[in-house]
Structure 1
Amino acid sequence: MLLLIPGPVQTRPETRAAMAQDIAPWDNDFRPVYAEIREMVRDIAGGVPGEHATMPLQGCGHFILEAAIRTFVPAGGTVLVPHNGAYADRAIRLATEAGRQVVSMPCPDTEGVSPAAIGAALAANPSISHVVMVHNETGSGIINDPGAVGPVVRAAGRRMILDSVSAFGALPFALAAHPEVDALVFTSGKCLEALPGSGYAVARTDRLLDCAGNAGSWSFDLSDIYQQALRAGWGSIRFTPAVQSLAAFRVALDFFMAEGGQPARLARYRENARILHEGVRSLGLTPYLDWAHQGPVIVTVHQPADPAFALQPFVDALKRRGVLISNFYNTRAPSFRVGCIGAIGPEDMRQAVAAIGGALDELGVRDRAARMPAAA
């Protein structure tokens, strides 16, 4: 089965095989593995030894993002969340339920966040301490550029938390060039092509020290994770982790480096996205984003207007052809989405295009023009 979702992703057999062992996470033979992971991740993030450190946390992307918000934004503090997709909407809920105030900045879900709009929102509200921005929205596939937004945040004297859950390892970014970023967060099961189970925040060490006591949660306190590392060493683990997932992640990092790191991974994913974007257009379908705005992680496609189309039967027909995609959408217009990340390449994408065409034919979908949302 070809798994084409934005995470968990298709993985290599060697990566999966690393899970097939029993491991004691506190064993002295495993401590160096955990310490290596932290250093390798920091380096991929463009961090500086001593200035940045990797804070792992058990769980999914929502867990690590909530931990970053709780750690770096004081209780009752105010964050700006530019939202052009479902994951920014979720960031708003995470911040709100953590007791932080949220200034919401709605944006179209077909283009990236405007740095000028961020600057204007910060100027209008001096109480905002942080911008929480999603790097890549996996609903539409749009990219928000921290390289453009970061300097605006820095010039305004504010801080930033970057949700790079579905972008890290593929999209370029270097923490050393962005002192305004308190933390960049991501998970293991996306562009680094490992198994799910752990999240990571690559964070400024000075800020981790300054923010001790902010979190209001022992489990979600990144400052406490840092203090644990200082006390017991970088190979120490605070609570029981998804240790087999960590072992697989270490293997996946070796494959990442052998491929050529972030530039090579981005090139492969971008080619995957190009083949898919052009392929669905050749079938008479309409991609959700113009190619100029299309990111490399996922290609989202407008559902066809033909009444014969329904999402779950379409997903089922694709699965019969050996391709598995998400059976839901979270864009403003009805859509379906096809992942371009994971241990996959151009031939897999051509297989996916052929399967999409076959599934549409099986369902009798002839009118493939975009189905637009009903008027409010």
Structure 2
Amino acid sequence: MLLLIPGPVQTRPEIRAAMAVDIAPWDNDFKAEYAAIREAVRELAGGVAGQHVCLPLQGAGHFITEAAVRTFVPQGHKLLVVMNGTYAERMARLAREAGREVVVLPVPDTRSVTPEEITQALAADPAIGHVGIVYSETGSGIINDIPAVGAAVRAAGRRMIVDAVSAFGALPFSLKDQPEVDAVVFTSNKCLEGLPGIAFAISPIERVTACAGQANSWSFDLADVYAVSLRAGPGSFRFTPPVQALHAFGKALEVYKAEGGRETRLARYRENARLLHEGAQALGLKPYLDWQHQGPIIVTIHQPGDPAFKLQDFVDALKRRGVLISNFYNTPVPTMRIGCIGDVHADDIRFALRAMSEALDELGIQRRNAA
């Protein structure tokens, strides 16, 4: 089965095989392996030893996003959330339910926020201390310009939290070049092509220590994660870790390096996205985004306006042909989400396009443009 979703992604056999072991999380061999993973991902984020730290947390991207908000945004303080997609909406909800005051900056989900919009929003409310932004919105497929936004945040003297869950490992990011960032957060099962179960925040150490005690949660306190690692060593976990997922993630990092790292992986994803964007149009379908705004992580396509079209029927028809896509959408109008990341290559996208053509024919879809 060819898995074309924006995560968990299709993985290589050797990464899946790495899960088939029993591991004691306190074993010294595993502790060394885990400490090496923390160091490796800190370096991937442009972190500097002694200045930045990798803070792992069991669970999904929502967990690490909430942990970052709780840890770095004091309760009752204002967080500006750039609202141009579903995952921004989720960040806002996580913040509100954590007792943080959210100010929204509405932006269409068809383009990046501009630095000027950030500057104006921060100037309008000096009480805003942090900006929360999603790097890659997998509802629509847009990419927010994180360096440009960060420069505006830095100029205004504010702090930033970056949800890079579906971006990290492919799109560029450097903590040492963006000192306004309190945390960049991501997971093991997106562009680094590992398996689900573990999430990471990379943060400046001085900010982590300055924010100790304000998370109002033991489980989601990243300052406590850091404090425990100081006491027990970088190979320690506070609670039972997903050891098999971490072991597989170590293998995924080896594969990532062997492929050529971030630039090579990004080039592969971009080619996947180009083929899918152009191929959808050749089938008479309309991509949700113009190519100039299209990111390399996921291509979103308008559902055909033909009254015979039903998304689940289309998903099932594709699955019978060996291709699996999402059976839901996150845009204001009906769309289809097709991922470009994971162990997916150009020939896989061509295969998927043939399957899409056959599925549309099987379902008798004549009117393929959006309603």
Q: TM-score per shorter chain, which class?
A: over 0.9
SS of equivalent to 1:337: strand
> Are the equivalent residues in 2 in contact too, given 1:272–1:296 (CA < 8 A)?
yes
> Are the equivalent residues in 2 in contact too, given 1:109–1:332 (CA < 8 A)?
no
Q: What corresponds to 2:55 in structure 1?
A: 55
Match for 2:6: what amino acid? Answer: P
Q: What corresponds to 1:247 in structure 2?
A: 247
Distance (whole Å) between structure 1 residues aligned to residue 252 and residue 118 of structure 2: 36
Instruction: Report the CA distance between 1:4 and its aligned residue.
Output: 0.4
Q: What corresponds to 1:164 in structure 2?
A: 164
Can you list the C-alpha shifts for 1:326-354, whole angstroms capped at 9, x where unaligned? 00001111100100000110000001111
Can you list the C-alpha shifts for 1:71-95, whole angstroms capped at 9, x where unaligned? 0000111100011110000001000
Instruction: Report the CA distance between 1:96 and its aligned residue.
Output: 0.2
Distance (whole Å) between structure 2 residues aligned to residue 189 and residue 289 of structure 1: 25
Q: What corresponds to 2:99 in structure 1?
A: 99
Matches within 5 A, 1:1-376: 1-371=1-371
> Are the equivalent residues in 2 in contact too, given 1:269–1:296 (CA < 8 A)?
yes
Question: What is the aligned length?
Answer: 371
Instruction: Report the CA distance between 1:233 and its aligned residue.
Output: 0.9
Instruction: Report the CA distance between 1:66 and its aligned residue.
Output: 0.1
Instruction: Report the CA distance between 1:260 and its aligned residue.
Output: 1.0
> Are the equivalent residues in 2 in contact too, given 1:74–1:214 (CA < 8 A)?
yes
Distance (whole Å) between structure 1 residues aligned to residue 339 and residue 182 of structure 2: 29
Can you list the C-alpha shifts for 1:293-349, whole angstroms capped at 9, x where unaligned? 100000000001001111000000000010000000011111001000001100000
Can you list the C-alpha shifts for 1:212-265, whole angstroms capped at 9, x where unaligned? 001000000000000111111111111101110000000000111111111011
Distance (whole Å) between structure 1 residues aligned to residue 174 and residue 268 of structure 2: 20
Match for 1:65: what amino acid? Answer: T
Can you list the C-alpha shifts for 1:18-70, whole angstroms capped at 9, x where unaligned? 00011001111101110010000001111111111100000000000000000
SS of equivalent to 1:30: helix
Q: What corresponds to 1:374 in structure 2?
A: none
Give the TM-score, by structure 1 length.
0.98
> Are the equivalent residues in 2 in contact too, given 1:75–1:99 (CA < 8 A)?
yes
Distance (whole Å) between structure 2 residues aligned to residue 112 and residue 202 of structure 1: 23
Unpaired runs of 5+ residues, structure 2, are none
Match for 1:4: what amino acid? Answer: L
Match for 2:53: what amino acid? Answer: A
SS of equivalent to 2:131: strand
Unpaired runs of 5+ residues, structure 1, are 372-376
Match for 1:169: what amino acid? Answer: G
Instruction: Report the CA distance between 1:370 and its aligned residue.
Output: 1.2
Distance (whole Å) between structure 2 residues aligned to residue 124 and residue 266 of structure 1: 37
Instruction: Report the CA distance between 1:140 and its aligned residue.
Output: 0.4
Match for 2:4: what amino acid? Answer: L
Q: After the TM superposition, which of the residue ranges 105-114 and 94-103 deviates more from structure 2?
A: 105-114
Distance (whole Å) between structure 2 residues aligned to residue 171 and residue 348 of structure 1: 22
Match for 1:144: what amino acid? Answer: N
Q: After the TM superposition, which of the residue ranges 91-100 and 110-119 deviates more from structure 2?
A: 110-119
Distance (whole Å) between structure 2 residues aligned to residue 58 and residue 74 of structure 1: 23
Instruction: Report the CA distance between 1:114 and its aligned residue.
Output: 1.3
Match for 2:74: what amino acid? Answer: P
Distance (whole Å) between structure 2 residues aligned to residue 151 and residue 103 of structure 1: 20
Match for 2:20: what amino acid? Answer: A
Distance (whole Å) between structure 2 residues aligned to residue 333 and residue 142 of structure 1: 16
Which runs of at least 4 in structure 1 moved beyond 6 Å after TM superposition? none
SS of equivalent to 1:200: strand
Distance (whole Å) between structure 2 residues aligned to residue 51 and residue 29 of structure 1: 26
Measured on the aligned residues, the alpha-carbon RMSD in Å equals 0.5
Distance (whole Å) between structure 1 residues aligned to residue 238 and residue 94 of structure 2: 23
Instruction: Report the CA distance between 1:124 and its aligned residue.
Output: 0.4
Can you list the C-alpha shifts for 1:172-208, whole angstroms capped at 9, x where unaligned? 1111100000000000000000000011000110000
Distance (whole Å) between structure 2 residues aligned to residue 365 and residue 109 of structure 1: 27
Distance (whole Å) between structure 2 residues aligned to residue 40 and residue 370 of structure 1: 45
Q: After the TM superposition, which of the residue ranges 128-137 and 232-241 deviates more from structure 2?
A: 232-241
SS of equivalent to 2:359: helix
SS of equivalent to 1:29: helix
